[in-house]
Structure 1
Amino acid sequence: MTAATPVPSAARDVLVLMGLPLLAVLALPAAFAGGGTRRWFGGRADSQRAQAQEAKDAAAAAFYELDTAQRDLRISVETITAVDDSPAARQAVAEFEALGRRIDEASQRYIQAVDATDLDRHDLEASAAARARTALVAAKDELLNIKRELDRFASGLGPLLGKAETELARVAPAVERARQALRGAGAALDAARGAGLGADDLAARLAALAPELTKLNEGAGRHGVRPTLQRAERVAREAEAIRSAAERLPEQAAEIDHRLVSLRTRAQALTTRAGQVEPVLSELRRRFTAACWQDLQHVPEQAAQNVRQAEAKLKEAQAARDAQRWPDATALLSTVRALLNATDEAVSAAGDRLARLNAVQKDPQTEIERTRFAIRDAQRLAMSGRTAPDPRHARPLDDSVARLERAVAGLEEGRHPDYWHFLTETEAVRQTVAQVVARIRQERGAGR
């Protein structure tokens, strides 16, 4: 918004150099005319001239007031647009632009009114001064009306402006937190290196954040408030993760060293235990039918193979630890543990098999009674509160009774009963019964 009362270009340049706003320059319509001295004449023309000058001064004051309000409000609108892209914010921008166009039009009419009449002319007629006064009063009134509309618009911006200012207030603390997190990550990396621990992967992750820090330093004015906030939060999270990982390195190294020692000891123990499987198998072959031990024939060979693989992986894990490739070392140790767990289960299975077969050969009745008790307990539950059991429950329980009777009858056939088949059958019967019991309780709990 500008005013354009003619001012000699040389004088205009001097005033601008003195630091006066251009609008102030435009408000000095005759500062450099006639040596700066007004020439007044008496009579009616002088009275009209004075009134016109008062109207001109009042219009200039309204013009400056409106211009100042518009400039202040533009800062508020720019604050909102820097943060908020909501429909309400876009509507506010559109309204401000519309008001700006009206202000420009009113300002132009004010400038035209000022330029239309030279109130300092010595031969100014009373009628010309009166017309000038009328035009200047109209320009002033229009400027004041728009100023009131601008004020109403400004008061309606309160919620949007408050939200935007709150967002802006978050930028500096968020950026500072990101910087502090980066400094903390750098310090943790230096401490880890000082302890002789390599952290090349963490250093690479930290270096990758340098461009992000550059953008944070460039500020929200260049990259936007929300992107800057998001970038600051992302940098802070990543830097904190790097710091935490660097601080855990000594503990991680110690843990890997401990696991290496522990798993080596376990592998050695399993080698000894695996050597004891063959005598167990020999006794199983001598005393029981082939069905009782055939599935264990591969245990000695498989155990030895697993231990060899575990020992090879332990060497790889040690090399990874020496090279401080922590993820590789951890993964290799997990593989070693899985191999040793499988070996332990296989080696234990042979001894457990012999113990169970010995127990059932000596006293099969204990296993029989244990299974019958489970069936009877389930039958009582199925009949609880009923005059007849639900067929969905009774049928599997009846089948379980018949299956147990067949297993018991199998023990009495031949000179060398298949005790392992008997044990697997009784175990299967108890599992079926347990499933029926669980189903009954679930249904009754649901009110069915």
Structure 2
Amino acid sequence: MTATPSQPYTPQPFTPYVPPSQYVRPRLRKSTTADAGTRAAAGIRAGTAGAFRDMAILLLLPLPLLAATLPAAFAGGGTRRWFGGRGESQRAEAQAAKDAAAAAFYELDTAQRDLRISIETITAVDDSPAARRAVSDFESLGHRIDEASLQYITAVDAHDLDRDDLEASVAARARTELTRARDELGKVKKDLDRFSEGLGPLLDKAETQLARLAPAVERARQSLLAASNALDAVRGSGLKADDLAARLAVLGPELTKLNQGAGRHGVPETLQRAERVARDAEAVRAEAERLPERAAEIDRRLVSLRTRAQALTTRAGQVDPVLSELRRRFTAACWQDLQRVPEQAEENVRQAEAKLREAQQAREAQRWPDATSLLSTVRALLNATDEAVSAAGDRLQRLNAVAKDPQQEIERTRFAIRDAQRLAMAGRHTPDPRHARPLDDSVARLERAIATLEGRHPDYWHFLTETEAVRRAVARVVGQIRDERGAAGA
């Protein structure tokens, strides 16, 4: 453009090229039809004023110079074009297309930024094939966004719509290119929106885990603090609780990793670590709070089991008179298995007392698991001794009863058999062989047991064991019948 006295030359600012990956959102300029009309009217007024000014200058020139200059002036000479009407309308339409493209560019850029946050949220939590595929698809969309953005920026840089000498054809071309760029940006935006909608399940899952992360880590910290406080309170009462302190110390490095954050160790691993730390710390806290009661319970058990061992020592001494009477009144088969009861009882009591001393030492050293285990062993030894000592007295009592009146045991067994037979025949004309055969065998077995009572020295113990075995067999048949009928009814 050539400078003239009426309009000095103003250089146009240079607009550097911005790559698609580094572009900055352009400032949106809002344009309306009224604005376009205002600009067109301003152009016409500027052109008219210039024409009148040029005419005034011509009238002041001498006639020879006026004759030489006037044809050129009316032929369109000068640096400003007469531009109005349709030309300004084209400029306004091009500016409107530019503003619409800028708005589309801004919307696409905003959507891409929001979607990038969603993708980063998913990748921070999920490493599944679906998540990896979503990342790959987002990268592909990113290439399309770059291409559409480049098309828009190129169209903006190629046309200066504020030039005074903008031609109508150039404005029309600018409008076409900017409209095309806007359409492409809109198309990519729709594809981006569809892609974003498809991320719903993955994003919901990721956000759920992220929402759990902070509370889980805080619970772990609070659990560790509670465990530490409980341990301090226990130690303040005079209990050492060394095993609990060692378990709590193991959780220290885990707390360090939790403090380092999920950014370093990953969200899933951090969640698992937080839950594990909270669980283990809670266990330590509960045991620490229960420790004084546990110590008191161990003390009570020591006293109780020591008293019981002394009582069993006294009862074991009474087994010999019972065995003497069994030998005197009944056959060897009735008492032979009880011969070693006094010796076994004495040995069990001796072992129990030795374990009690060890348990006492463990209690004084505050080795709580050892003390508890030893007391369980003592209890098992005393239970076995109690059963053996009681068996001798029970044997004599049962043998005395059957020797006095065996008919009571016989009738008890026969009643069980008859009751089972009535159940087997209920609703049937003939019994099921699976039920009838065992019951018939039980009847025969009872008869054989009764026959053993004949003679000078009957084996009452064999008779009792046989009748018990018959009743157990009958009970099995009754249970089988009820189970089958219950299943059929269901």
For normalisation by structure 1, the TM-score amounts to 0.79
Q: Does 2:477 align with 1:439? A: no
The alignment partner of 1:412 has SS state of coil
| Structure 2 segments unaligned to the other structure (5+ residues) | 1-13, 28-78
d(CA) in 2 for partners of 1:392 and 1:26? 94
1:422 corresponds to: 463
For 1:288-321, what per-residue CA distance to the aligned partner results, in whole angstroms no more than 9, with x for missing partners?
A: 2211111111111111111111111111222222
d(CA) in 2 for partners of 1:307 and 1:179? 50
1:43 is aligned, of 53, 58, 81, to 81
Aligned-partner residue type, residue 255 of structure 1: E
The alignment partner of 1:203 has SS state of helix
d(CA) in 1 for partners of 2:481 and 2:172? 106
Change (3 A) 1:45 1:72: farther
- The Cα shift of 1:376 comes to 3.5
Structure (1 or 2) with the larger CA radius of gyration:
2
- The Cα shift of 1:443 comes to 3.9
d(CA) in 2 for partners of 1:317 and 1:200? 18
1:93 corresponds to: 135
- The Cα shift of 1:274 comes to 0.6
Q: Does 2:378 align with 1:336? A: yes
Change (3 A) 1:108 1:377: closer
Q: Is the 8 A contact 2:91 2:168 kept in 1?
A: no
d(CA) in 1 for partners of 2:162 and 2:181? 20
Counting matched residue pairs gives 420
d(CA) in 2 for partners of 1:429 and 1:106? 94
d(CA) in 2 for partners of 1:183 and 1:398? 71
1:172 corresponds to: 214
1:33 corresponds to: none
1:88-237 map, 5 Å: 89-113=131-155, 135=177, 138-154=180-196, 157-158=199-200, 160-237=202-279
Q: Is the 8 A contact 1:5 1:114 kept in 2?
A: no
- The Cα shift of 1:437 comes to 3.2
d(CA) in 1 for partners of 2:221 and 2:435? 68
d(CA) in 1 for partners of 2:184 and 2:419? 98
1:281 is aligned, of 323, 335, 338, to 323
Aligned-partner residue type, residue 334 of structure 2: C
Q: Is the 8 A contact 1:281 1:297 kept in 2?
A: yes
Q: Is the 8 A contact 1:375 1:397 kept in 2?
A: yes
Aligned-partner residue type, residue 142 of structure 2: G
For normalisation by structure 2, the TM-score amounts to 0.73
The alignment partner of 1:413 has SS state of coil
Q: Which moved more, 1:197-206 or 1:340-349?
A: 197-206
For 1:119-159, what per-residue CA distance to the aligned partner results, in whole angstroms no more than 9, with x for missing partners?
A: 99999999888766765554455344434543454455455
Q: Is the 8 A contact 1:52 1:119 kept in 2?
A: no
Q: Which moved more, 1:322-331 or 1:108-117?
A: 108-117
Q: Is the 8 A contact 1:5 1:111 kept in 2?
A: no
Aligned-partner residue type, residue 73 of structure 1: L
Change (3 A) 1:138 1:374: closer
1:327 is aligned, of 369, 381, 386, to 369
d(CA) in 1 for partners of 2:434 and 2:198? 72
Aligned-partner residue type, residue 43 of structure 1: R
2:387 corresponds to: 345
d(CA) in 1 for partners of 2:162 and 2:418? 123
1:355 corresponds to: 397
1:292-307 map, 5 Å: 292-307=334-349
Q: Does 2:317 align with 1:268? A: no
Q: Is the 8 A contact 2:26 2:102 kept in 1?
A: no
Aligned-partner residue type, residue 462 of structure 2: H
d(CA) in 1 for partners of 2:172 and 2:82? 10
For 1:178-221, what per-residue CA distance to the aligned partner results, in whole angstroms no more than 9, with x for missing partners?
A: 22112111111111211222222222222222232223222233
- The Cα shift of 1:118 comes to 8.2
Change (3 A) 1:71 1:335: same
Q: Is the 8 A contact 2:25 2:106 kept in 1?
A: no
- The Cα shift of 1:371 comes to 2.8
For 1:352-411, what per-residue CA distance to the aligned partner results, in whole angstroms no more than 9, with x for missing partners?
A: 111122222223333333333333433444444455544444443343333333333332
The alignment partner of 1:206 has SS state of helix
Q: Does 2:319 align with 1:309? A: no
Q: Which moved more, 1:301-310 or 1:405-414?
A: 405-414
d(CA) in 2 for partners of 1:440 and 1:158? 58
1:412 is aligned, of 449, 454, 457, to 454
For 1:54-108, what per-residue CA distance to the aligned partner results, in whole angstroms no more than 9, with x for missing partners?
A: 4777756654554343223311221233234455544443332122101222333
For 1:243-287, what per-residue CA distance to the aligned partner results, in whole angstroms no more than 9, with x for missing partners?
A: 112111112111111111111111110011111111111121222
d(CA) in 2 for partners of 1:330 and 1:186? 24
Q: Does 2:251 align with 1:241? A: no
Change (3 A) 1:22 1:290: closer
Q: Which moved more, 1:142-151 or 1:332-341?
A: 142-151
d(CA) in 1 for partners of 2:434 and 2:100? 100
Q: Which moved more, 1:293-302 or 1:128-137?
A: 128-137
| Structure 1 segments unaligned to the other structure (5+ residues) | 8-20, 28-40
Q: CA RMSD, aligned part only?
A: 3.7
Aligned-partner residue type, residue 467 of structure 2: T
Change (3 A) 1:146 1:309: same
The alignment partner of 1:198 has SS state of coil
For 1:319-365, what per-residue CA distance to the aligned partner results, in whole angstroms no more than 9, with x for missing partners?
A: 22222222222222111111111100100111111112222222333
- The Cα shift of 1:110 comes to 4.2
The alignment partner of 2:416 has SS state of helix
2:16 corresponds to: 6
d(CA) in 2 for partners of 1:403 and 1:130? 117
The alignment partner of 1:42 has SS state of coil
d(CA) in 1 for partners of 2:15 and 2:314? 108
d(CA) in 2 for partners of 1:152 and 1:381? 72
